[in-house]
Amino acid sequence: MVSETVVELSRWQFALTAMYHFLFVPLTLGLSFLLAIMESVYVMTNKQVYKDMTRFWGKLFGINFALGVTTGLTMEFQFGTNWAYYSHYVGDVFGAPLAIEGLVAFFLESTFVGLFFFGWDRLSKVQHLTTTWLVAIGSNFSALWILIANGWMQNPVGSYFNFETMRMEMDSFAEVIFNPVAQVKFVHTVSAGYVTGAIFVLAISAYYLLKNKDTDFARRSFAIASAFGLASVISVIILGDESGYEVGEVQKVKLAAMEAEWDTHEAPAPFTLVGLPNQETQETEYAVKIPYVLGLIATRSLDEEVLGIKDLVERAEARMRNGIVAYELLLKLRNGEDTPENRSAFMAVQNDLGYGLLLKRFTPDVVDATEEQIKAAAMDTIPGVAPMFWTFRVMVACGFTMLLLFTLAFYFTAKRKEHKTRWLQKFALLCLPLPWIASETGWFVAEFGRQPWAIGEILPTYVATSHLSESDLWLSIFGFVGLYTAFMVIEIYLMLKYVRKGPSALGTGRYDNEVAKEKTEEVVQYV
Amino acid sequence: MFDYESLRLIWWLLVGILLIGFAVTDGFDIGAAILLPFLGKTDTERRVIINTVGPHWDGNQVWFITAGGALFAAWPRVYATAFSGFYWAMLLVLFALFFRPIGFEYRSKSDSARWRNNWDWGLCLGSFVPALVFGIAFGNLFLGVPFYFDELTRPIYTGSFFALLNPFALICGLASVAMLALHGAIWLQMRAGGDVEARAQHYANRIGPALSTLMLLAGIVMLTVVEGYSITSEVVGDASSNPLNKQVARVENWFANYEQYPLLWALAAASLILPLGVSLLAKANRPGWGFVVSSLNISVIILLAGSTLFPFVMPSSSDLASSLTLWDATSSKLTLEIMFWVAMVFVPIILCYTAWGYYKMWRRIEPEFIEQNSVSNY
């Protein structure tokens, strides 16, 4: 079996590379739509400044996009390199949306992004506008298919276990696509992307306003960002709530961990606003509770219970005992005892096979698990409560702060006072990191909250890895961290450089700080 | 509509088509980037080279990503076994590829000559290493890869990274680099202006014979040294995907398919002649036709490699029965069917808008154009 360290390191590597990738994705999702909106205004009004806005924000988009593509490469192949058993076990279902993402979405986005940058003189106005919209639509389609794949990891529908091939196989593609978890995840995530794009434009425009630089350009950008951002942030919050409801339906453990709900409370359950969850004693110290609210969020009713962690552990224990039987029968079926009796007995318990596999971490043979091991494995079905509890609250706090910002920004823009309201400009600039903090904590809640499962109740993370050595993992993590850190430094350097230049970076001669450049005809000779 | 056996065969072809799509489209921008420091002596010349592929490299690279996704969906066991087994080879490819998107996008965003020169070498190595490693990986497929499956059928690779670097595989690696460099050179002869065009012609002229020689050398080693694999049990095309249900034996060489389908000898001959054709067309100053022949050459080489291995995809040298073939390493029938229809609908659409993009951006990039539009180009 695989060592515990290899599993831990594989998780670290995946988390690091995925969270790093996710620094660039939300901005691409949001900024591409903002570019499309700006260019639409240009085509409709024929005002040059909107074309310049599209091109300038497009330059920043490009700097971000390059790293999104770079880090995305890792994601397409890392399942194979580091999660080989996962890839084999669920590739039949999980691989399909990933491949479709390439064919349907990423081709569209990447082909047209080239035309977006290089096509200004080669395409008609309407052709170029169409190109920009296709980039935006392509990137959002990408998100759709990726989240269908991710939604299936959370809530694996439309599939069954085939003991002959030793893997999950798809039996309903429609169920996989219309997985309710995938649907709410998609709308919540892309809305978060729109908010990211909006804050990015809003904060940098606010910076120009603070500096009294390119005021006209900045005000128009600020206005578009505040309207788009307000609509998006409202949508994130409403759809986030919808997401909470969906989690309550299908991922009760995740919900209980997020809310540090140790005991099943009489309906309707109160919502713990803050407190210090303690995994050892299974209690939340210094809890500040608001009555009824959790019951309302999670069940949309006043009389349904929200299951607590202690009850969920008991449930897991019962399924684990079935899982041991399932595992034993599976080995029989695969080792020449493929009798009708064994088959039907296996069918009866196969849904709990995943729980049997959870025991692999405690005893490689599973069937000889002791009572203590079963108890320990059942406790293990609960992810770390305190990290879940806190990251979730940080995400929500960021969301509401941004709601406040966009409401104010929209209000002052409507009053045509945004360029004189300096405290608002400073507030906008300070809020720049918030969408990234919210996206990363949101990612953490969704994926850490899935543990100990790679595929919810089907495949434990522990058995999902590749057969690699600890030194392989250390070396590859070192490689990723080293390269990614260097790229990050370069990206931030370029971003700051172009933000400082502002629209003068376009070299049109229409903007502040533009010096009539004398062309120095210096020829650089390389050796 | 199709039975399982036909779907499996169709997917073998589709994976081949995706690989060909990758090598033909991304191949020329990889090739051009490999040649970048050698063909571009001044900053403007290098920008000429980079801007011939500027609008296209990103779309082209998606063929690679989609081929990865298609392997995952259609051949999950191959995706799992190959990428975890070739762990360091794959990571080396990824680490190298990282330098391409950022290299293209960031290179001209600073005026510093050192910055630009460093990125140029990043683009060159970032393209050279994947080209080399792909060839090496393919070469190792012919030799067999040491892996087996444990009791839960987890793939266990027992080789090492350095074992991949054997002489035969290195010949394949160099052939792969030459193939893409030739493709890049003929592309630049067609699309670049100024001195770059002339230098590209010179290089296209030289690389063709080198590629032919490497292919000949690989062929000779295949004929004399490399042992083949053969399925000795009955092949059941519609059985469930369990690679352990068959028997495999080592045989003298890989040429059993050639005896059955002598047409393969014609493909083999074409892979020796076509590179020379590209060079002749470059010399005759017909780079447009040269590019067509080079694309044909790439398709022939990939098709030849696949057909020689057929029906094997990834033979195991340490546990013969674990060898993966296109009959027993695929997804379920339903998944293959769904993915087939998705590919049937979307690949033609992709080809249409890609072609439109090339049509719109088609022009020779002259040095004057770069100097006059310094800000808007790479």
**pLDDT tens string B326-364:** 999 999 999 999 999 999 999 999 999 999 999 999 999
A125 and A161, same structural domain?
Answer: yes
A352 and A424 part of one domain: no
Backbone phi, then psi, for B280, in 5-degree steps? -65, -40
Q: In this structure, are residues A6 and A468 in contact, taking their beta carbons and an 8 Å threshold?
A: yes
pLDDT at A301 (0 to 100) = 80
Domain membership of residue A135 (yes or no) is yes
Structural domains of chain A, count? 2
Q: Measured at the alpha carbon of residue A408, what is the angle toward residues A404 and A412, in degrees to the nearest 5? A: 175
- Residue A290 phi/psi, 5-degree rounding, is -110, 120
Q: Is the peptide bond before A268 cis (omega within 30 degrees of 0)?
A: yes
Report the alpha-carbon distance of residue B164 to residue A128 in Å, rounded. 47
Confidence of residue A522 (pLDDT cuts 50, 70, 90): low
Cβ neighbours around B1 below 10 Å, total: 7
A374 and A410 co-located in one domain:
no
Interface test with B, best of A107, A127, A353, A515 (most B CBs within 10 A): A107
Whether A114 sits inside 8 A of B58 (CB atoms) is: yes
Residue A485 vs residues A67, A217, A479, A491, B298: alpha-carbon distances, Å: 12, 33, 10, 10, 37
Mean pLDDT value across residues A53-58: 96
Q: Determine, yes or no, domain membership for A283.
A: no
- A390 & A330 share domain: no
Task: Give the residue among A82, A439, A116, A381 at the shortest CA–CA distance from A252.
Answer: A381
Question: Which stretch of A262-266, A318-322, A450-454, B173-177 has the lowest confidence by average pLDDT?
Answer: A262-266
Give the model confidence (pLDDT) of A354-367 as tens digits: 999 999 999 988 98
Substitution target in B42, B117, B152, B333 with the highest count of A β-carbons within 10 Å is B152
User: What percent of chain A has a predicted confidence (pLDDT) above 90?
Assistant: 78
Which pLDDT score is estimated for A484? 96
Q: Check B332 against A165: CB less than 8 A apart.
A: yes
Q: What percent of chain B has pLDDT over 70?
A: 100
Q: How far apart are CA A422 and CA A419, in angstroms?
A: 7
Cα(A373)–Cα(B21) distance, rounded to whole angstroms?
52
Q: How far apart are CA B123 and CA B126, in angstroms?
A: 5
8 Å CB contact between A257 and A389: yes
Instruction: For residues A243 and A333, state if they share a domain.
Output: no
Task: Please identify which residue in the block is written with the tokens 């979307």.
Answer: B346
- pLDDT for res A274: 86
> Do the domain assignments include residue A371?
yes
Q: What's the pLDDT at A289?
A: 86
pLDDT band at A526 (very low <50, low <70, confident <90, very high): low
Predicted confidence band at A515 (pLDDT cuts at 50, 70, 90)? low
Domain stop point among A347, A380, A413: A380
**Does the pLDDT of residue A521 top 80, yes or no?**
no
Within 8 A by CB and 6+ apart from B191, the residues are B52, B363, B364, B365
Tokens of B225: 């040294």
Q: Domain residues of chain B, as ranges?
A: 4-228+239-373
> Tokens 């792969």 label which residue?
B176
Instruction: Give residue B84's pLDDT band: very low, low, confident or very high (50, 70, 90).
Output: very high
Angstrom distance (rounded) from CA A151 to CA A450: 11
Of A306 and A330, more confident: A330
Contact between A110 and B59 using a beta-carbon 8 Å cutoff: yes
Residue A527 lies in a domain: no
In the structure encoding, which two tokens stand for residue B34, read together?
């490999």
Instruction: Supply φ then ψ for residue A239, to 5 degrees.
Output: -75, -25
pLDDT the model gives residue B319: 94
Instruction: Tell me the two tokens of residue B166.
Output: 């054997």
Q: Is residue A366 domain-shared with residue A401, that is, in the same domain?
A: no
Kindly state whether residue A455 falls inside one of the protein's structural domains: yes
User: Is residue A487 in some structural domain?
Assistant: yes
Rama region for A514: left / alpha / beta (φ>0; ψ in -120 to 50; rest): beta
**Inter-residue contact B38 to B296 (CB < 8 Å):** no
Verify that A33 and A129 share a domain, yes or no.
yes
Selection from B61, B32, B58, B29 nearest residue B45 by Cα: B32
Per-residue model confidence (pLDDT) at position A524: 57
Given A322, A354, A380, the domain boundary residue is A380
Q: What's the rounded Cα separation, in Å, for the pair A214 and A207?
A: 10
Q: Return the higher-pLDDT residue of A334 and A193.
A: A193
pLDDT > 90 fraction of chain B, expressed in percent and rounded = 94
Do A319 and A247 lie in a common domain?
A: no
Tens of pLDDT, residue by residue over A96-154, are 999 999 999 999 999 999 999 999 999 999 999 999 999 999 999 999 999 999 999 99
The reply to whether residue B98 touches residue A490, judged by beta carbons under 8 angstroms, is no
Residue A497 belongs to a domain: yes
Strands (E), A110-163: 159-162
Residue B377's pLDDT band, with cuts at 50, 70 and 90, is confident
Residue A293 lies in a domain: no
Yes or no: say if A102 and B65 are a contact pair by the CB < 8 Å rule. yes
Listed residue (B213, B123, B126) closest to B174, CA to CA: B213
HSE-up (13 A, CA, CB side) for residue A329: 23
Q: What is the pLDDT of residue A269?
A: 85
> Measuring CA to CA, how many Å separate A386 from each of A33, A259, A297, A434?
36, 9, 20, 21
For B148, the closest chain A residue by CA position comes to A467
Mean pLDDT of chain A: 92
Containing structural domain, residue A34: 4-251+383-508
Do A368 and A484 belong together in one domain? no
**Do A103 and A185 sit in the same domain of this protein?**
yes
Q: Given this model, what pLDDT does residue B29 score?
A: 96
Report whether pLDDT(A523) > 60.
Answer: no
Q: Between these two residues, B197 and A514, which has the higher pLDDT value?
A: B197
- Give A520's pLDDT tier (boundaries 50, 70, 90): very low
User: Quick one: pLDDT at residue A455?
Assistant: 96
- Of the candidates A80, A107, A169, the beta carbon closest to that of B79 is on A80
What ranges make up the beta strands (E) of A218-304? 271-278, 283-290
Cα separation, A288 vs A270, in Å, equals: 10
Give the count of alpha carbons within 13 A of B343, CB side only.
24
With bands split at pLDDT 50, 70 and 90, how would you rate the model's confidence at A518? very low
Q: Say yes or no: A443 and A498 in one domain.
A: yes
Best mutation target, B48, B61, B105, to test chain A (most A CBs within 10 A): B105
pLDDT in tens, B289-324: 999 999 999 999 999 999 999 999 999 999 999 999
Tokens linked to B95 = 């680490």
- Write the CB contacts of B261 (distance below 8 Å, at least 6 apart in sequence): B307
Identify the CA nearest to B155 among candidates A84, A501, A433, A383. A84
- B235: DSSP letter: P
For the stretch A457-504, pLDDT in tens is 999 999 999 999 999 999 999 999 999 999 999 999 999 999 999 999
Measured in angstroms, the CA of B194 and the nearest CA of chain A are apart by: 15
Residues A481 and A334 in one domain: no
